[in-house]
Amino acid sequence: MARLMCSCGDGLSNSDVPSNNVLYVFAKLEVDGALLSDANITLYDFETGIEDAFEFWYCPNCKRVSVVESVPDGKVVVRYSISSSHEEMDLQNLNAFYVFSDIDIYNAEENNPNILLSEFIIQHGDENLYYTDASKNKVYKLIQNNRYKTVYIKE
């Protein structure tokens, strides 16, 4: 069990199960690759089979996301905070990823321990977020056609 202090002063913890401070972040390419390899892969097998170099922590108070090394006493690598600007981006320059809360994954697996990854994505994965390859300074959300909203910005 770990604890982390957010920049806003709130203490974060992953000791509660499920935790409202833990996020799962999966690249869309990673999800698509897993489904191509095994269309019947369960959510549990997918999420436990990934060796993450980073953990993602969410602060419900200020909405920051902290990226932390996945090692004992891991250091915060970067923090992202909420942004309200809009920015035009070409979809070809963006990489899609999914973000799920620990609570969403826990509830899905509690309700159906054998839920397929594909079923979970259909139920919960409709809000893709995007980042650019060249720089992960901003996180974008598609709001219509080729118009993206900057939702997070690197601090």
pLDDT in tens, the chain (155 residues): 688 899 999 999 888 899 999 998 888 889 999 999 999 999 999 998 887 778 899 999 999 999 888 777 778 888 888 887 766 666 567 788 889 999 999 999 999 999 999 999 999 876 678 777 666 787 888 777 777 777 888 88
Residues above pLDDT 70, as percent of the chain: 91
The residue ranges of every structural domain in the chain are 3-154
From the list 2, 1, 24, 17, the residue with the least C-alpha distance to 76 is 2
Are residues 121 and 127 in contact, defined by beta-carbon separation less than 8 angstroms? no
What pTM, to 2 d.p., does this model score? 0.82
SS3 of residue 57 by DSSP: strand
How far is Cα 8 from Cα 10, in angstroms, rounded to an integer?
6
How far is Cα 114 from Cα 5, in angstroms, rounded to an integer?
35
